[in-house]
Structure 1
């Protein structure tokens, strides 16, 4: 099997800053891409998955902190933890808004919570080497998921189709602010994994588990939201064909492009800095209404 070595420190100047952003959802319509409930709810799955998922990221990385022997990487991990905690709260606010509009996300959220707490959570009975292995295995899952979040973040930053469709500007800012931070810190989880285990097998296993699981949760999430939407009353059912149509219109990421991106993760010479543009991400963060407002405070 191929093996990997720690990547060159090509982002030594990375300083991750948690930006305490605030969004006003009081005027957000249920279908924030006008007349496009399928695309709206396909993206809305982010709000279902991310609050519990990113709180899990924080717990995993907090468990890994005592195992880090590189001071610079430790600082990056602390910055990552701060950013992910704010991401979770920002998306939680959208869930609360959906509930106020008559779409109850709690049945699906309970299932996601069970997954991250009971299946992927800490195992209290483990000690010593077995606990260390469990933490590294969960870091490998986070690294693989972060590859997808960086892909989605890069798509959000380069999605003029949403502007053409007159998507709600506050939601667009949330997606692009979050996407920019995902691109900004896209290397941290991978670098932590390589620091703890530079082997290829762990990285491969992380993607083989996390990739199919993420697709499964996303499909289930779209089905749930379309069925729970009080305005649709079950009239729309999701299909891969419709997802491709919406992707060609620029309203959704291209599933084929996402699959090609996942395949790159398996290359022995892969590093997350090959995905997306840090300068573009930082450029958006300098102009994001929410990020600028947070900076003034």
Structure 2
């Protein structure tokens, strides 16, 4: 019998960020800072995800899920590394990313309050935010017009990250259900944590955008604000478009692969030359 292999690979990356323009999304400050804000969240956020899954890994007996947890940890560690490297480049552009990373740690510190400081709740936080990042990543991959607005120096970083978020989108969820089951208490915890976690993450993203626009001396750029907010929250906006998939999480029978994104994975692996 052949050894069990993970369902997806860990790809070692080493992107270069020396030639990234200041406004690298559509030559627009607001949209650039949307992505800069997300990147400021990623290093500490990804490390939290890794720690929460690693803390309970020994309780998993299923060999396939064990392999997938290992690949999940590898992918998330690589995401943290590459976005950390990009953030260092943003610092050179005069943006105070360390301040935003400090804010990220303050948001995450909510998980260390006594009521939340346990393995089950930490894993529930990861499950919730993995759903959010999975559907947001899929939305970006669906919006090829949006991807084309990203400067070529950054496009492959985001395509790679979005592909991998969809490859491993069910790992934390499956780990939670294997260990803690589907009883009403576990379901209620996941629902409550989803509301709290996504409220905090949306506050964080928008607060980071405001701060980055301030540092960029673009707070008064009304045209950029109006266009950017419409891109996020308009009728076909990136955030407004994911609301139905976000709400699916609250169905008792929900599973991340109810949203089949294999067609996106196949398309973008081919476009970017990523191995399957």
Q: Report the Cα distance in structure 2 between the residues aligned to 1:239 and 1:187, rounded to whole angstroms.
A: 36
Measured at CA, do residues 136 and 186 of structure 1 come closer, stay the same or move farther in structure 2, by a change above 3 Å?
same
Q: Report the Cα distance in structure 2 between the residues aligned to 1:104 and 1:113, rounded to whole angstroms.
A: 15
2:151 is matched with 168
Aligned alpha-carbon RMSD (Å): 2.9
Quote the offset at 1:225 in angstroms.
1.1
2:129 is matched with 145
Write the mapping of 1:121-270 to structure 2, written as runs, cut at 5 A: 121=112, 134-165=118-149, 167-197=150-180, 198-199=182-183, 200-229=187-216, 232=217, 234-236=219-221, 242-247=227-232, 253-270=237-254
Question: Structure 1: which 5+ residue stretches go unaligned?
Answer: 1-11, 124-129
Q: Report the Cα distance in structure 2 between the residues aligned to 1:155 and 1:202, rounded to whole angstroms.
A: 27
Render the CA deviation track for 1:39-66: whole Å, top value 9, x for unaligned. 1111221111001100111111111112
Render the CA deviation track for 1:15-74: whole Å, top value 9, x for unaligned. 231101121111100100243111111122111100110011111111111222322212
Of 208-217 and 274-283, more deviation after overlay is shown by: 274-283
Could you tell me whether the CA contact under 8 Å between 1:226 and 1:234 is conserved in 2?
Answer: yes
Tell me whether 1:28 sits opposite 2:13 in the alignment: no
Q: Report the Cα distance in structure 2 between the residues aligned to 1:153 and 1:247, rounded to whole angstroms.
A: 14
Q: Report the Cα distance in structure 2 between the residues aligned to 1:238 and 1:92, rounded to whole angstroms.
A: 30
Measured at CA, do residues 53 and 154 of structure 1 come closer, stay the same or move farther in structure 2, by a change above 3 Å?
same
Q: Report the Cα distance in structure 2 between the residues aligned to 1:86 and 1:173, rounded to whole angstroms.
A: 14
1:75 is matched with 67
Choose the corresponding residue for 2:30, options 38, 52, 77: 38
Could you tell me whether the CA contact under 8 Å between 1:151 and 1:261 is conserved in 2?
Answer: yes
Q: Report the Cα distance in structure 1 between the residues aligned to 2:255 and 2:32, rounded to whole angstroms.
A: 32
Could you tell me whether the CA contact under 8 Å between 1:156 and 1:175 is conserved in 2?
Answer: no
TM-score, structure 1 length as denominator? 0.81
TM-score, structure 2 length as denominator? 0.86
Could you tell me whether the CA contact under 8 Å between 1:161 and 1:249 is conserved in 2?
Answer: no
Question: Structure 2: which 5+ residue stretches go unaligned?
Answer: none
Quote the offset at 1:278 in angstroms.
2.2
Equivalences, count: 269
Of 100-109 and 252-261, more deviation after overlay is shown by: 252-261
Q: Report the Cα distance in structure 2 between the residues aligned to 1:207 and 1:57, rounded to whole angstroms.
A: 14
Render the CA deviation track for 1:116-159: whole Å, top value 9, x for unaligned. 3x432598xxxxxx99x810111111111011111121122122
Could you tell me whether the CA contact under 8 Å between 2:129 and 2:197 is conserved in 1?
Answer: yes
Q: Report the Cα distance in structure 1 between the residues aligned to 2:41 and 2:233, rounded to whole angstroms.
A: 25
